[in-house]
């Protein structure tokens, strides 16, 4: 597939999706959100894709936010629809069933941080800047920022970032649990793809089971989450990959998972 606002390529079993609006610091407009919906739907449907890396084009930004020029002309009804379009994308990514790694190569602000938080893992360059600055525009986050940030970093950090609107550095973002790892900018791509390739070589059904259990458990009482985990654990025993994984362990060899 080709897109007006994205670049996509496959590196083995890793699909790379790059927001390609570097002249706009990769800001999210309606067209970009629509392209991202289609790109992630295609990745989900393609069995050859085992993991996804999401990043932004150019050296300055992952995604610097939503497109303010486009937003400035929206009516309240249009802005509601724009918010729902963005939130639906973030939910699609979060519930994709395949691991998505955000490679934060620069600014991840506003809608960019919301996009990053929908990824399952986030690897940040030590030069990245992260924040929810909507308050400075007289707005609140509209693509899930108040909710996913609350779940990742807690109430105090969410209120700090959303009320003050000031970006923070990558190291502080890691301390708050917003990003998983921080690496020197020159090592970002290598570090991110090492993780993505590890995920791509893992058992796909087990990956999906973990992603689903964490997602369901995070929104449920612990008894519900534990029951869901037990069911997923039992279902894994019906897969060829479980037999391959345990057999390889006993034979002291590297497993080869097929997704069956």
Indicate which residues carry an active-site annotation. 114, 134
66 DSSP assignment: B
Q: What is the C-alpha separation between 39 and 17, in angstroms, rounded?
A: 8
Structure tokens at 61: 């930004």
Sheet with strand 121-125: strands edge to edge: 6-11, 14-19, 51-56, 100-104, 121-125, 181-183
Q: What is the C-alpha separation between 106 and 185, in angstroms, rounded?
A: 9
Structure tokens at 138: 């007289």
Alpha-carbon dihedral sign for residues 218, 222, 224, 226? positive
Q: What is the C-alpha separation between 254 and 198, in angstroms, rounded?
A: 13
């Amino acid at each position: 597939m080709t897109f007006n606002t994205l670049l996509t390529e496959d590196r083995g079993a890793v699909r790379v999706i790059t927001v390609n609006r570097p002249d706009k610091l990769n800001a999210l407009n309606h067209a970009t959100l629509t392209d991202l919906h289609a790109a992630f739907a295609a990745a989900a449907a393609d069995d050859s894709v085992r993991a996804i890396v999401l990043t932004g084009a150019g050296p300055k930004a992952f995604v610097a936010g939503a497109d303010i020029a486009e937003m400035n002309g929206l009516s309240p009804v249009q802005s509601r629809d724009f918010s729902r379009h963005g939130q639906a994308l973030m939910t699609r990514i979060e519930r994709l069933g395949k691991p998505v790694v955000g490679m934060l190569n620069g600014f991840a602000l506003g809608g960019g941080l919301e996009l990053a938080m929908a990824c399952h893992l986030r690897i940040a360059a030590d030069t990245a800047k992260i924040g929810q600055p909507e308050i400075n525009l007289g707005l609140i986050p509209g693509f899930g920022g108040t909710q996913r940030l609350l779940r990742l970093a807690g109430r105090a950090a969410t209120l700090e970032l959303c009320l003050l609107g000031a970006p923070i550095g990558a190291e502080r973002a890691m301390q708050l649990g917003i990003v998983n790892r921080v690496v020197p900018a020159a090592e970002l791509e290598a570090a991110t793809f090492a993780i993505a390739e590890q995920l791509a070589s893992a058992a796909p059904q087990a990956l999906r089971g973990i992603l689903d259990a964490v997602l369901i458990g995070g929104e449920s009482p612990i008894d519900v989450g534990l029951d869901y985990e037990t069911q997923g654990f039992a279902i894994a025993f019906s897969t060829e990959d479980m037999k391959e994984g345990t057999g390889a362990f006993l034979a002291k060899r590297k497993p080869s998972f097929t997704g069956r």
